[in-house]
Amino acid sequence: MYNSIQTFSFPKTLLLFLFCNTAIFAQKTDSLKKTEPLQASANIQITNNGVSLFPNLMLGKPAAIINLTVGKKHIFFEPELRWRLNGEPWSYIFWLRYRPKRTEHFSWHVGGHPSYVVRPSQVTINGKTENRWISQRYLAAEFVPVWHQSPKFSLGLHLLASKGLDSYAIKKSTYVSIQPRFPNIGISKNYYLGFFPQVFHLTLDNKKGVYYSQMLSFNRKKLPVYVSSIFTYKIKSTIAGDNVVWNVGLNYRL
């Protein structure tokens, strides 16, 4: 009796085993097909003048800037790390951005970051004046919708608000910018320009201003090295800072 039951149940057990393994294998294969690879890129820039759209964050000295992007699907971690060329710190921005799938003519993203602006300062400790590196801490959030007319032209709106976390930092700031974008202006078979002008309104606590700024890049196709420059002109502002700020940078794309 026992042996007949064993003989009868074994094929069913085998069939059940094969069915389960086939289903598991199919699920694994299907999940592998849907898995998106990790995306990573970087841009390294050496510039003669560390500039910023926020005058209070300007370095005004030669600097090295590294922009990194690491992400998967719609979530990206995009730190921007800046140093003086002698290795001393300048600022560190740690963006986390959400980028949903782009349609034919429209894209948008939201992001937020903590950031640290590091500067040498004189502080008094136990009655003694000492030179120390002091950081200003900020939290910020942004919203950036973009309309894409073609691969050669798009129009973006950039809204950003930040809050200073230290008593000696700017408490509140807002940045509103209209950004036409011309990423691929052909000048020959192998060379092209990227032109990114903008007009923006900036508020730092109770001070405000309107500025024009542009970024221009000179590129060769299939070459990771390119030259860029930034020019910013103060149209009308109560914020302290130079009327004209510019720089030139040598970039390497990874």
Q: What is the pLDDT of residues 203-249, one digit of tens each?
A: 999 999 999 999 999 999 999 999 999 999 999 999 999 999 999 99
Domain match, 58 and 30 both: no
The values of phi and psi at residue 201, to 5°, are -110, 130
Is residue 174 domain-shared with residue 211, that is, in the same domain?
yes
Least confident of 12-21, 48-57, 185-194: 12-21
Residue range(s) defining the domain that contains residue 41? 37-253
Instruction: Say if residues 113 and 139 touch (Cβ distance below 8 Å).
Output: yes
Residues 10 and 113 in one domain: no
Same domain? For 116 and 20 the reply is no
197 and 178, same structural domain? yes
Same domain, 116 and 150: yes
Element (H, E) at 52: none
pLDDT over 90 percentage in the chain = 74
* Number of Cβ atoms within 10 Å of the Cβ of 15: 10
DSSP-derived secondary structure for 125-159: ETTEEEEEEEEEEEEEEEEEEEEEEETTEEEEEEE
pLDDT at 128: 84
Same domain, 106 and 231: yes
**Which tokens belong to 88?**
């001393």
Asked if residue 41 and residue 80 are part of one domain, the reply reads yes
Give the tens place of pLDDT for each residue, 73-118. Answer: 899 999 999 999 999 999 999 999 999 999 999 999 999 999 999 9
Looking at the structure, tell me whether residues 146 and 68 fall in a common domain: yes
Percentage helix, strand, coil, to 5, in the chain? 15, 65, 25
Quote the number of domains for the chain: 2
pTM over 0.75: yes
Is residue 22 domain-shared with residue 64, that is, in the same domain?
no
Question: Bigger pLDDT: 32 or 207?
Answer: 207
Q: How many C-beta atoms lie closer than 10 Å to residue 78's C-beta?
A: 17
| One-letter amino acid of 65 | I
- Domain of residue 112, CATH code: 2.40.230.20
- Rounded Cα distance, 234 and 177, in Å: 14
- The answer on 124 and 67 residing in a single domain is yes
Instruction: Fill in the amino acid letter for 181.
Output: R
One domain, residues 124 and 245: yes
